[in-house]
Amino acid sequence: MAQQFQNFIGGKWVPPTTGKYLENRNPANWEEVLGAFPQSGPDDVNQAVQAARKAYDGWRLTPAPKRAEIVFEAGEILKRNKEELARQMTQEMGKILAETRGDVQEAIDCAYFAAGEGRRLLGDTTPCELPNKLGMSFRMPVGVAALITPWNFPMAIPSWKTFPALVAGNTVVLKPATDTPWSALNFVKALEEAGVPPGVVNFITGGGSTVGQPLAEHSSVNVVSFTGSSDVGKVLGSTCGSKLKRLSLELGGKNAQIVMEDADLDLALEGVLWGAFGTTGQRCTATSRLILHKDIAKSFTDRLVAAARGLKVGNGLEPGSQMGPCVNERQRKSVHEYVEIGKKEGAKLLTGGNMLTEGALGAGWFYEPTIFGDVKAGMRIEQEEIFGPVLSIVTVGSFEEAIQVLNGTPFGLSSSIYTRDVNRAMRAIRDIEAGITYINGPTIGAEVQLPFGGVKETGNGHREGGPTVIDAFTEWKSVYIDYSGRLQKAQIDR
């Protein structure tokens, strides 16, 4: 029988009120059951939120540097256990070990960065228009934060949300994706070991309809932070909007890499292979489109197809594996459906396009690295997020057309251009509609000290990462101190 794991509520590990559990399986070997996690319900949500509400006053009155020390210690614990945590993440999520080590490292980096913000929750002091009067502003915590996270970065993304929320003085309820509860549980255990007080961090697992939506709707939740699909983000936008509740959304992408005729083509080839097929294409920042200048399109495509065919697909724990499985059967089926759509739209399948079911790969949800040529702007495979190892190549005749094609989707998360022309690079930075732009780098590789997020249907204006993440988890309070000893009337007395 698989080990049963529990929810973490009010500082204790407790079983779900439903008495139900969901199996957590290895996507590279679906017969391997990693554990059973609570299939929680609204009663569990209510208990977790009430625990967070009860702990809030004590936590918000804890000095921010002290809050930050606990976050820093959690980072140290993750660092000590990095290899074990990475191996467990590969078993749970499927991506290769090098990438899961990076996932854990990102959580460590975020801990250190957020801990530093504990001594930099800065406000402003400013001159007032009347004599003997001082104006200043402070950051104040929002309250209880509901954090709903996806499966593709099962430790990094919880860290992006949890650590800044805690340093800012909020208490949290974390709901991970049902495909990857183990990594999130390990993350919470690090915080528990670091000494976070009971109720400050709560953790419940379960589905979106039974946990996620009730969590977002709960009257005692003050801010919701969600990373996931744009469709779910729109539902949450409606839910939180009707209650005037703070909401931070980091949603989908249809990211493109432009390669101009003057680019370092060897470097660009490395970049698109990593951007398109890293994490099996299961990143919101994955390179889903490749925009090639016509002068180099044929030769570059030939090299890219040959390189993609040489990628080793396999269990992420096996040495030499370069790409793991899709996270589950449903995701692989969705990827394959998009491949069929691409064929029907008239795109040319250059390589891949098949489920991998032979030998050891037949035990998991593996799919070939897939590349389409002759893709036209406006095709569904060029417009819609596939979230798998499928790359669409669009050929253009000019820099201006490349920018137009890149901007021509509903999304605006990440973008990339390879060129040796500094003038083109600067124009790309100015004209690309995206929250992130890489020059001579792939569309993936964000660092924690800079804002992360996008425009259009990629989000609602908030940013994770960098000092800007604090904006999602704090309210501004303006304070006026009048030491004139008399009533002064702003504007009127002037």
Just list the catalytic residues. Answer: 250, 284
Q: What is the 3-state secondary structure of the chain?
A: CCCECCEEECCEEECCCCCCEEEEEECCEEEEEEEEEECCCHHHHHHHHHHHHHHHHHHHCCCHHHHHHHHHHHHHHHHHCHHHHHHHHHHHHCCCHHHHHHHHHHHHHHHHHHHHHCCCCCCEEEECCCCCEEEEEEEEECCEEEEECCCCCCCHHHHHHHHHHHHCCCEEEEECCCCCHHHHHHHHHHHHHHCCCCCCEEECCCCHHHHHHHHHHCCCCCEEEEECCHHHHHHHHHHHHHCCCEEEEECCCCEEEEECCCCCHHHHHHHHHHHHHHHHHCCCCCEEEEEEEHHHHHHHHHHHHHHHHCCCECCCCCCCCCECCCCCHHHHHHHHHHHHHHHHHCCEEEECCCECCCHHHHHCCCECCEEEECCCCCCHHHHCCCCCCEEEEEEECCHHHHHHHHCCCCEECEEEEECCCHHHHHHHHHHCCCCEEEECCCCCCCCCCCCECCEECCECCCCECCCCHHHHCEEEEEEEEECCCCCCCCCCCC
Q: Is 127 exposed, middle or buried (0-12, 13-18, 19+ CB in 10 A)?
A: exposed
Match 């509520």 to its residue by tokens.
9
Per DSSP bridges, beta strands 124-127 and 29-38 are unpaired
CA dist 438 and 447 (Å) reads 12
